[in-house]
């Protein structure tokens, strides 16, 4: 805490940016060409909330929490600011972008100096918050709720305020229990809790009974845990191969009680602190950074891919936005789609053809892609072009890509000689590949008499377009011949789009640099009826699968798992739609440093592979494992409804997604009225036959006997990236953002079946 009662973030005492934010300043809020209002913004004393005045009488207090901020961008880097402000304001403009579906805040400061204070101050606070340990977050969350419940702000809690506080933290407690708890803590018998009494109340409340039991089993040294006791826990429960030195270091690092630490002992608080460390959570720390071989041909990887990336909502009338590209790229997506049409003023535009979705300029999209492509991952980005333009505008498209992407754009093959396979993600770091129609063969680059086939044209019917033109049959009748500009054709080096004409034809006619796109139904049909043929096809060629336009006008998604099981690399999903399918995508790509590339298992990379996910004949992929999951407890599940009286009745579902034989789900009972610290202690056993392809998804829902359950949070982890033993599971909301203090606590065990 700062001296004036301010909760100053660590290491920011006296920081000029922080002081500026705490004093506040006027900013111009920009919503459109005509809507610009001066508003006073100020950071609250908790250093977690920003307040701004609103002229509406009904809403005098307007605040947002810094926890909800995705990032702060300086300059005119949102569509709104680019559209509605002039370049002269570049140095004074900045935007605050929120997680989930909140609108951006586009702002202009009075001076360049003030804009810098805002951006750098908010950045520092955000980075500070992300470094808080789970323990600190819990405390912060509880203290915030305590402060909110202290209605008369006297720093004391009456029984009514305590009751309200318990509802705020999502726990319904019997009046008798509150009374008992209150009396136990009210040592001064004043009928109010203050200072130490509130702290005592908090400690009783946050006591983790289940942690106490585990701790008690191993704490065999004067009731505390010695390094040897801790080592015993690590090897026996967590199945870790570590030594005594490691255990000693853990006590040194995480023990909170100095006296115990001096004796190299760990208290229960220290043990809990240790169990909350990022490297002790469910996901193996070794898999959080790039741990796979990145030097194999591109087609040996699953590639995180987005469909109609420019859409923010549905496929018919929703907004198109360059924001769609930024969001997908920041999530590690490595293949984005651009649907390009002739713009009325000679500039190519992007939108969903034949629909009412809004339009954006092609060059703006390319500019944003260049800006954000390599912030999350340094591996190559594929630009999947759906070209509907006239030759003139195609030439302009090629020109924009050359001038904006510069040397990062692949414009010719990498080596001196004709390759026999695609280059690797490693060789293509920081580069852009164009996927589209192409008039030449790759071989032509290496022969003297390069074929010029400028007169070749492609009509819409014979064109194996990846978009859903076939769903707009009306327009197909007016089939116009589309000529392909040589300038654009020349950019499709390694990802030349060709029509799929059957596996036999592909074996004899299709080169490794020629790729086909499949509508989800066709792909699912192959995945179910001829999976092994599909796998062999994908051993040396790329396949892109995309959602059906006819059925998915609401931008829903298909299940990507059968496609991955068949070795398909580019399984394109609507990134803008929060859903279980996107959770699976985020789960698969959460490993390998969020690089957007995951090396396929060996049997999906071998020319003569016998693997078939449906029939599961014997082979090296069969590793029968008994997977035991004990769902123990959860902590601080958020409320699902703003109504202060509604309290969640949580249940947990454990789902396995993988080959059909492994796919299954089990569910706990629901617990009445407790989102604060529900306990289940329920055991499930799953049989896994191809663990390498399995994803484990934990879903927490609010049980409803009348309607369908409400989603609270989820976490999806590849089975091969799980750590066994006692693990906390972080939870993510529907948009894939981390819920700051909610978590599950589980015990996992995997044993080879006899």
Is residue 134 annotated as involved in ligand binding? Answer: no
Is residue 33 annotated as involved in ligand binding? Answer: yes
Rounded Cα distance, 112 and 31, in Å: 20
Is residue 50 annotated as involved in ligand binding? Answer: yes
Is residue 186 annotated as involved in ligand binding? Answer: no
Is residue 55 annotated as involved in ligand binding? Answer: yes
Distances (CA, A) of 469 to 384, 466, 549, 575: 16, 8, 9, 21
Is residue 480 annotated as involved in ligand binding? Answer: no
SS (H, E, C) 644-705: CCCCCCEEEEEEEECCCCCCEEEECCCCCCECCCCEEEEEEEEEECCHHHCEEEEEEEECCC
Is residue 653 annotated as involved in ligand binding? Answer: no
Owner of token pair 């792909």: 523
Is residue 49 annotated as involved in ligand binding? Answer: yes
Is residue 324 annotated as involved in ligand binding? Answer: no
Owner of token pair 């059968």: 562
CA-based end-to-end distance of the chain: 58
Is residue 42 annotated as involved in ligand binding? Answer: yes
Is residue 90 annotated as involved in ligand binding? Answer: no
Is residue 45 annotated as involved in ligand binding? Answer: yes
Which residue in 522, 561, 518, 565 sits closest to 542, CA to CA? 518
Contacts of 534 (CB under 8 A, 6+ apart): 503, 526, 527, 543, 566, 567, 568
Is residue 220 annotated as involved in ligand binding? Answer: no
Q: Structure tokens of 90?
A: 């570049």
Q: Structure tokens of 288?
A: 């959080």
Is residue 133 annotated as involved in ligand binding? Answer: no
- The residue annotated as part of the active site, out of 307, 537, 657, 670, is 307
DSSP state of 617: -
Is residue 347 annotated as involved in ligand binding? Answer: no
Owner of token pair 């004949």: 617
Is residue 717 annotated as involved in ligand binding? Answer: no
Contacts of 413 (CB under 8 A, 6+ apart): 419, 442, 445, 446, 493, 494
Is residue 43 annotated as involved in ligand binding? Answer: yes
Rounded Cα distance, 518 and 548, in Å: 10
Is residue 376 annotated as involved in ligand binding? Answer: no
| 3-class state of residue 518 by DSSP | strand
472 is catalytic: no
Rounded Cα distance, 469 and 685, in Å: 46
Is residue 131 annotated as involved in ligand binding? Answer: no
Is residue 56 annotated as involved in ligand binding? Answer: yes
Is residue 618 annotated as involved in ligand binding? Answer: no
Is residue 466 annotated as involved in ligand binding? Answer: no
- H or E element, residue 726: strand 725-732
Is residue 242 annotated as involved in ligand binding? Answer: no
Paired residues of 283 in beta bridges: 722
Rounded Cα distance, 563 and 569, in Å: 8
- The residue annotated as part of the active site, out of 77, 117, 140, 352, is 352
Is residue 53 annotated as involved in ligand binding? Answer: yes
How is 18-40 classified by DSSP, letter by letter? Answer: HHHHHH-EEEEEE-SSS-EEEEE
DSSP state of 444: G
747 is catalytic: no
Is residue 255 annotated as involved in ligand binding? Answer: no
Rounded Cα distance, 144 and 348, in Å: 51
Is residue 583 annotated as involved in ligand binding? Answer: no
Are 567 and 560 in contact by the 8 Å Cβ rule? The answer is no
Are 461 and 485 in contact by the 8 Å Cβ rule? The answer is no
Binding-site residue numbers for Ca(2+) are: 308, 337, 339, 386, 647, 649, 673, 702-704
Residue positions forming the annotated binding site: 29-56, 308, 337, 339, 386, 435, 437, 517, 544, 647, 649, 673, 702-704
Annotated binding site for substrate: 29-56, 435, 437, 517, 544
Residues serving a catalytic function are: 307, 352
């Amino acid at each position: 805490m700062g001296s004036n009662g301010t909760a100053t973030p660590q290491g920011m005492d006296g920081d000029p940016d922080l002081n500026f934010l705490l004093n506040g300043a006027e900013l111009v809020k920009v919503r459109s060409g005509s809507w610009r209002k001066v508003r006073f913004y100020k950071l609250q004393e908790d250093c977690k909330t920003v307040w701004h005045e609103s002229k509406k009488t009904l809403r005098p207090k307007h605040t947002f929490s810094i926890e909800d901020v995705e990032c702060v961008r300086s300059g005119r880097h949102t569509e709104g600011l680019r559209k509605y402000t002039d370049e002269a304001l570049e140095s004074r403009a900045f935007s605050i972008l929120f997680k989930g579906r909140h609108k951006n805040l586009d702002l202009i400061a009075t001076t360049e100096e003030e804009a810098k204070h805002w951006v750098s101050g908010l950045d520092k606070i955000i980075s500070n918050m992300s470094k808080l340990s789970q323990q600190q977050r819990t405390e912060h969350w509880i203290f915030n709720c305590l402060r909110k419940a202290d209605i008369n702000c006297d720093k004391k809690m009456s029984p009514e305020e305590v009751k309200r506080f318990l509802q705020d933290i999502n726990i319904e407690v019997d009046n008798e229990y509150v009374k008992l708890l209150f009396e136990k803590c009210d040592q001064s018998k004043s009928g109010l809790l203050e200072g130490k009494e509130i702290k005592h109340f908090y400690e009783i409340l946050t006591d983790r009974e289940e942690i106490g039991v585990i701790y008690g089993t191993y704490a065999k040294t004067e009731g505390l845990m010695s390094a040897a006791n801790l080592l015993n826990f690590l090897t026996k429960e967590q199945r870790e191969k570590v030594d005594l030195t490691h255990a000693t270091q853990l006590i040194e690092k995480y023990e909170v009680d100095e006296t115990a630490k001096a004796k190299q002992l760990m208290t229960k608080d220290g043990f809990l602190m240790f169990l909350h460390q990022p490297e002790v959570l469910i996901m193996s720390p070794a898999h959080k950074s790039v741990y796979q071989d990145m030097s194999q041909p591109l087609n040996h990887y699953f590639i995180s891919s987005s469909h109609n990336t420019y859409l923010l909502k549905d496929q018919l009338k929703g907004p198109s936005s360059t924001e769609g590209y930024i969001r997908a790229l920041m999530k590690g997506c490595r293949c984005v789609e651009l649907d390009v049409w002739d713009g009325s003023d000679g500039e190519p535009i992007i939108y969903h053809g034949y629909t009412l979705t809004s339009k954006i300029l092609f060059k703006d999209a390319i500019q944003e892609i260049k800006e954000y492509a390599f912030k999350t991952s340094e591996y190559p980005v594929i630009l999947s072009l759906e070209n509907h333009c006239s030759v003139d505008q195609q030439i302009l498209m090629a020109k924009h890509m050359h001038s904006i992407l510069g040397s990062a754009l692949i414009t010719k093959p990498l080596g001196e000689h004709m390759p026999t396979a695609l280059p690797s993600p490693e060789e293509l770091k920081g580069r852009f590949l164009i996927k589209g129609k192409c008039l030449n063969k790759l071989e032509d680059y290496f022969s003297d008499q390069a074929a010029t086939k400028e007169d070749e044209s492609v009509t819409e019917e014979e064109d194996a377009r990846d978009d859903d033109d076939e769903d707009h049959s009306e327009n197909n009748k007016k089939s116009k011949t589309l000529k392909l500009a040589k300038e654009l054709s020349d950019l499709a080096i390694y990802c030349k789009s060709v029509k799929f004409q059957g596996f036999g034809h592909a074996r004899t006619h299709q080169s490794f640099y020629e790729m086909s796109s499949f509508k989800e139904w066709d792909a699912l049909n192959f995945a179910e009826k001829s999976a092994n043929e599909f796998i062999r096809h994908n051993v040396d060629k790329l396949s892109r699968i995309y959602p059906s336009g006819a059925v998915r006008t609401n931008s829903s998604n298909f299940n990507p798992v059968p496609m991955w099981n068949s070795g398909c690399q580019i399984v394109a999903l609507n990134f803008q739609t929060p859903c279980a399918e996107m959770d699976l995508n985020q789960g698969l790509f959460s490993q390998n440093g969020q690089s957007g590339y995951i090396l396929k298992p060996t049997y999906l990379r071998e020319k003569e592979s016998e693997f078939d996910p449906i029939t599961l004949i014997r082979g090296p992929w069969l590793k029968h494992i008994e997977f035991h999951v004990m769902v123990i407890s959860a902590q601080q599940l958020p409320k699902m409804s703003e109504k202060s009286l509604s309290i969640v009745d949580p249940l947990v579902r454990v789902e396995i997604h993988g080959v059909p034989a492994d796919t299954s789900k089990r569910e706990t009972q629901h617990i009445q009225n407790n989102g604060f610290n529900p306990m289940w202690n329920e055991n499930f056993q799953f049989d896994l036959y191809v663990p390498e392809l399995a994803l484990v998804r934990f879903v927490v829902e609010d049980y409803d006997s009348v309607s369908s359950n409400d989603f609270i949070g989820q976490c999806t982890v590849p089975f091969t990236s799980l750590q066994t033993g006692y693990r906390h599971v972080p939870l993510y909301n529907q948009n894939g953002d981390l819920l700051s203090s909610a978590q599950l606590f589980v015990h996992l065990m995997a044993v080879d079946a006899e």
